[in-house]
Chain A
Amino acid sequence: MSKPEDTPETTDRAFEKVQPPIGWDNKTLREMLEETEQRTAETGRYAGLDELSMKEENPFKYEQLFSQLRGALVSARETAMHVSASPIVREIGELCFQVYTPEGDCVGLSTGIIVHVHTGSLAIKYMIEEDYEHDRGIQPGDIFCNNDNDLGNVHTTDVHTLVPIFHDDELIAWVDGVTHQVDIGGMTRGHDQLASTTRYEDGLYATCEKIGEEDEIYQDWRDRAQRSVRTPMYWDLDEKCRLAGCHMVREAVMDMVDDVGTDTFKQFMREAVEEGRQTLNSRVEERLFPGTYRDASFMPVPFEDEAWKPSAKQNMINHLPVEVRIGEDGGIEFDMEGASPPGPHPYNCAEGAMEGGLWVSLTQCLLHDGKVNDGSYIAVDTNYPEGSIVNPQDPSLSYHTSWGSLMPTYNAFWKNISRGFFARGFREEIVTGYSETGDPVQGGGKYEPMDDYFPVSPFEHSCQGLGASAVRDGLDHGYAMWNPESDMGDVEEWELIEWGLPYLSRQVKPDTAGHGKYRGGSGWEGIRVVQDSSDVSLYKHVVPGVGFTTSGMSGGYPNATNYSLRAHDTDLAERFEQQKPYPTGDSPPGSFDEDIEGDIERSTKGLYFPEEFENYDLLHYQMGGGPGYGDPLDRPIEKLKEDIEEGFYTPEVVERVYGVVGTLDEDNREFTVDEAATEQAREQLRAERRAETVDFEEFYDAERARIREGDVSEPAEWMYSGVFDISEEWADSFRAFWNLDDEFTFEQE
Chain B
Amino acid sequence: MSTETDQDQIEKLIDGKLSWEELRGDVLPDPKDPNRFEVTRRVLQERVDWDDPILVPLNDHLFVVGTDDGRIVKSECGHEFGPLDDNWKKHCQIRVRESEAEMRELYPENMTPDPDWEFELREFFCPECYTLLDVDAVPVGYPVLKPFDPDVDTFYEEWQGRPAPDRTEG
Residues on A facing B (Cβ under 8 Å): 285-287, 289-296, 298, 300, 302, 315, 317, 326, 328, 368-369, 415-416, 419, 422-429, 470-472, 510-512, 515, 517-518, 545-548, 550-558, 560-563, 588-590, 602, 604-605, 630-634, 650, 653, 656-657, 686, 689-690, 692-696, 699, 703, 706-707, 711-713, 715-716, 719-720, 733-734, 737-738
Contacts and interface: CB of A to CB of B under 8 A. Distances in A.
B93 A285 contact: no
B90 A696 contact: yes
Given A423-B56, A426-B32, A653-B106, 20 more contacts: A293-B149, A294-B147, A298-B139, A328-B151, A328-B154, A425-B37, A428-B13, A428-B28, A510-B108, A551-B138, A554-B60, A555-B133, A602-B110, A631-B133, A657-B105, A686-B130, A699-B122, A713-B118, A716-B117, A716-B139
B170 interface: no
Contact of B60 (A287, A300, A470): A470
Given A558-B135, A706-B140, A657 B16 contact: no
Interface of B: 10, 13-14, 16, 18, 20, 23, 27-28, 30-32, 34, 36-37, 39-41, 56-61, 89-96, 105-114, 116-119, 121-123, 125, 127, 130-151, 154-155, 158-159
B155 A422 contact: no
A316 to B, nearest CB: 11
8 contacts: A291-B148, A295-B145, A419-B148, A548-B121, A555-B59, A631-B60, A633-B132, A696-B89
Contacts of A471: 13, 16, 18, 23
State the 5 A-B residue pairs at the shortest beta-carbon distance, nearest first: A425-B40, A548-B137, A693-B93, A555-B132, A560-B111
A558 B95 CA distance: 16
Contacts of A369: 30
Nearest to A706: B140
A692 B95 contact: yes
Contact of B117 (A546, A590, A696, A720): A546
Contacts of A290: 150-151, 154-155, 158-159
Contacts of A562: 111
B135 A557 contact: yes
Contact of A296 (B14, B145, B159): B145
A274 B108 CA distance: 51
Contacts of B90: 696
B154 to A, nearest CB: 4
Contacts of A699: 94, 96, 122
Contact of B23 (A472, A551, A712): A472
A691 B148 CA distance: 29
Contacts of B59: 419, 422, 553-555
B136 A551 contact: yes
B133 A712 contact: no
Contacts of B114: 302, 545-547, 604-605
A719 B118 CA distance: 13
Contacts of B113: 545-548, 561, 604
Given A295-B147, A696-B89, A590 B28 contact: no
A720 B141 contact: yes
Contacts of B13: 427-428, 471
Contacts of A734: 143
Contacts of A315: 117
A300 B130 CA distance: 32
B57 A422 contact: yes
B81 to A, nearest CB: 11
B86 to A, nearest CB: 11
Contacts of B58: 419, 422-423
Contacts of B138: 296, 298, 548, 551
